[in-house]
């Protein structure tokens, strides 16, 4: 419990820093801060995606349905606003809730599936959900053409008082803060899982579900809880993204790319940790941006090479690398003593 308050202090500090980050960037870089903020928004979104996927993975459920919950969140807010004059912000929490309901449905039918069979079932679920959304009446879900979604923030341009780019800055700043809010919530959920009795339960189920059950852990309960927590967070993200991007489209919103990034990022950063997915997101977003700026064409090839190399040379991700470096440093003096 003491460790929890230590963690919370750290999160609050990070929150304060992130809160003032946009203004600092603006003061330092002026107009360029707009694109820096875009990059930061992407990285934050990726971190939420990765961390929420990781929370589910801690129970051994390697899901390929993350795009489904992301899409469910996005479509919830889009459909709500299309059908009625709902408050603009309501779609975000509701997006999270709809994602949870779908996750509980999927989770309860995949309880007995393991490994590759679980993965295939979740992938099929995501594809079916996409097909269902495409087939819904156009006046509800927009069909293949999708739905336009109103922006959350529409900062007005005031001639004489501000420059043109400052409108984009204000818009990005507002979205960034929303994303930071969701990321902080995700971090809090993750810390709560890691510092409570959920961690031994999740880890035991991931390592050996039968043994965990014989020791009194109820696998179904914890697997569904992980599904709910994970999908709620990514549902919030999906809904926010729908507003920021301005539209939802079945092929885009339910695209497999979302799922791929959701699982690649924690693997790159370090699975089953709070820090890993965040470091992974920061790392991957930077690598991508760097490659994009260096090679205009075919930068994704370089991106692929980086990923393959990282899995080959740091199988436990960035966090694993840091751990082994720490351990090596701690062990060195001892072996030096033994040598003497």
Partner 1 sequence: MSILQAQGLSKKFGGLDAVSELSFAVEAKEIFAIIGPNGAGKTTTLNMISGLIKPSAGKLKLNGQEISIKDSAERCHLGLGRAFQVVQPFPEMTVEENVLVGALFGKSGVSEATGRKLAQEVLKQTGLLALKDTPAEELTLLQEKRLEIARALATQPKVLLLDEVMAGLRPGEARQAVELVKNIRNKGVTIVFIEHVMPVVRDLADRVMVMDYGKKLAEGSYQQVTNNPQVIEAYLGAEE
Which positions touch partner 1 (CB under 8 A)? Answer: 1, 196-197, 200-201, 203-204, 207-208, 210-219
- Say how many CA atoms lie within 13 Å of 158 toward its Cβ: 4
Q: Which CB atom, from 125 or from 222, has the smaller least distance to partner 1?
A: 222
What angle, 0 to 180 degrees and rounded to 10, lies between the N-to-C axes of helices 115-135 and 256-269? 140
Query: Tokens 């002026």 appear where?
Result: 30
Q: Which CB atom, from 218 or from 292, has the smaller least distance to partner 1?
A: 218
Supply the minimum distance, in Å, between the C-beta of residue 214 and partner 1: 5
Answer whether 303's CB lies under 8 Å from 254's CB. Answer: no
Structure-token pair, residue 98: 């709809």
Q: Which CB atom, from 178 or from 201, has the smaller least distance to partner 1?
A: 201
Supply the minimum distance, in Å, between the C-beta of residue 6 and partner 1: 17
Q: Which CB atom, from 210 or from 296, has the smaller least distance to partner 1?
A: 210
Answer whether 36's CB lies under 8 Å from 27's CB. Answer: no
Annotate 81-120 with DSSP letters as a single string: HHHS---TTTHHHHHHHHHHHHHHHHHHHSTT--HHHHHH
Supply the minimum distance, in Å, between the C-beta of residue 211 and partner 1: 5
What angle, 0 to 180 degrees and rounded to 10, lies between the N-to-C axes of helices 219-245 and 164-195? 180
Q: How far is CA 138 from CA 142, 147, 302, in A?
A: 4, 9, 40
Which positions ≥6 away from 100 have C-beta within 8 Å? Answer: 228, 231, 232, 235
Annotate 178-221 with DSSP letters as a single string: HHHHHHHHHHHHHHHHHHSTHHHHHHHHHH-HHHHHHTT--HHH
Supply the minimum distance, in Å, between the C-beta of residue 197 and partner 1: 5
Supply the minimum distance, in Å, between the C-beta of residue 206 and partner 1: 9
Q: Which CB atom, from 211 or from 260, has the smaller least distance to partner 1?
A: 211
Q: Which CB atom, from 4 or from 128, has the smaller least distance to partner 1?
A: 4
Q: Which CB atom, from 26 or from 223, has the smaller least distance to partner 1?
A: 223
Supply the minimum distance, in Å, between the C-beta of residue 202 and partner 1: 11
Supply the minimum distance, in Å, between the C-beta of residue 215 and partner 1: 5
Query: Tokens 């479509």 appear where?
Result: 75
């Amino acid at each position: 419990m003491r460790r929890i308050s230590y963690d919370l202090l750290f999160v609050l500090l990070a929150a304060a820093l992130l809160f003032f980050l946009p203004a600092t960037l603006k003061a330092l870089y002026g107009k360029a801060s707009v694109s820096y903020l875009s990059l930061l928004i992407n990285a934050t979104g990726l971190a939420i995606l990765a961390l929420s996927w990781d929370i589910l993975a801690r129970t051994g459920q390697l899901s390929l349905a993350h795009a489904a919950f992301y899409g469910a969140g996005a479509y919830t807010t889009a459909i709500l606003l299309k059908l009625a004059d709902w408050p603009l912000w309501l779609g975000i929490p509701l997006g999270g809730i709809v994602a949870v309901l779908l996750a509980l449905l999927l989770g309860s039918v995949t309880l007995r599936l393991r490994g590759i069979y679980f993965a295939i079932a979740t992938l099929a679920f995501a594809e079916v959900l996409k097909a269902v959304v495409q087939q819904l009446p156009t006046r509800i879900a927009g069909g293949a053409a999708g739905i336009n979604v109103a922006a959350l923030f529409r900062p007005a341009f005031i001639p004489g008082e501000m420059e043109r780019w400052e409108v984009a800055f204000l818009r990005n700043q507002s979205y960034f803060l929303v994303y930071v809010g969701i990321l902080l919530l995700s971090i809090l959920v993750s810390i709560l899982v890691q510092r409570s009795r959920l961690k031994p339960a999740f880890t035991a189920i991931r390592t050996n579900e039968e043994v965990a059950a014989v020791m009194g852990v109820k696998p179904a309960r914890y697997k569904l809880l992980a599904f709910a927590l994970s999908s709620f967070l990514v549902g919030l993200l999906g809904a926010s993204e729908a507003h920021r991007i301005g539209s939802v489209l079945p092929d885009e919103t339910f695209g497999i790319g979302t799922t791929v990034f959701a699982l690649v990022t924690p693997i790159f950063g370090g699975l089953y940790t709070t820090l890993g997915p965040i470091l992974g997101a920061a790392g991957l977003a930077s690598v991508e941006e760097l490659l994009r700026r260096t090679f205009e064409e075919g930068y994704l090839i370089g991106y692929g090479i980086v990923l393959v190399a990282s899995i080959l040379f740091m199988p436990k991700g960035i966090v694993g690398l840091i751990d082994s470096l720490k351990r090596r440093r701690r062990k060195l003096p001892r072996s030096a003593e033994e040598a003497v």
